[in-house]
Structure 1
Amino acid sequence: MRRCERVGAWRRWRGSDQGFVTAESAVVLPVLVAFAMALVWGLLVMAAQLQCVDAARTGARAAARQDPPDAVVALAREAAPGGARVTVSREGDQVRVVVVAKPAVLRGLPFEVREEAVAVAEDAGEGP
């Protein structure tokens, strides 16, 4: 008799938590989705940052070779993410290229990635 009572109690106890798995899934699943989306957004921001680094370096190299400013900006924009702003300035014998872009996924947010590169200008008139 006691064994039957234990089996019956086990069945009652086991049957009482059937809805807990559904409730826990309903709470945990949106958190996991939000975490996965945050990871993807972070990767896209890092990709945009790397594109800005490449674009600034490419522009700085071109500016150091004394390429025309319009050509430097066009060359940097090719390597930069879409819609990036490129500025070129010269301070003494150094050229500075700054690339600022908004990551594609975060266009609605006030968030930008920025990178700058500095190079020493190669003066064509000087020689040995």
Structure 2
Amino acid sequence: MRRSERSMRPRRAGPVGRGDRGYVTAEAAVVIPTLVALAGLLVWGLMAAAAQIRCVDAARAGARAAARSESGADVVRVTRAAAPEGAEVRVTRGGGLVRVRVTVARPRFPVTLTAEAAALDEATVGGGGR
């Protein structure tokens, strides 16, 4: 038989799928850690979003308390009660407004979470005290 005739003959195939052995294991070894990492990122994102919402709620509660002319200690206490653990609270007054800023620093989350709320100081409403 000549060489050209041998190349035209169909080759014998081995068992079906024999060449694919091990691919499922390799794919699983790549996909499973990726899915676990994605799930971890999603959980972290939900925790960060929940903490941001708590910061916004705490800033609003603190601004309302400060606008009612409550003492500075009471304003900070009310704000910290609603804020995530370890939050920094800053209260400023000026121009008839009370501003409350709540910040959760980086060690808690990889990003700094901040919320600020402002309210009109009741002492300035109606042209001052009566």
TM norm structure 2: 0.81
Instruction: Verify: 1:33 aligned to 2:52, yes or no.
Output: no
What residue is the counterpart of 1:51 in the other structure?
A: 54
Q: Secondary structure at the match of 2:76?
A: helix
Higher normalized contact order (CA 8 Å, seq sep 6+, divided by chain length): 1
Q: Matched residue of 1:31: which SS?
A: helix
Equivalent-residue separation in structure 1 for 2:119 and 2:21 (angstroms): 67
Offset of residue 92 of structure 1:
1.9
The number of equivalent residue pairs is 117
Q: Which runs of 5+ in 2 are unaligned?
A: 1-9
Give a deviation string over 1:33-57, Cα, whole Å, max 9, x none. 1111011000000000000000000
For 1:3, the equivalent position in structure 2 comes to none
Q: Percent identity?
A: 50
Task: Rate the CA distance shift 1:108–1:63 in 2: closer, same or farther, 3 A.
Answer: closer
SS in 2 for 1:86: strand
TM-score, length basis structure 1: 0.83
Deviates more, 1:81-90 or 1:116-125: 116-125
**Greater helix share, structure number:** 1
CA RMSD between the two structures: 2.2
Alignment of 1:67-82 (within 5 A): 67-82=70-85
Please say which structure displays the higher CA radius of gyration.
Answer: 2
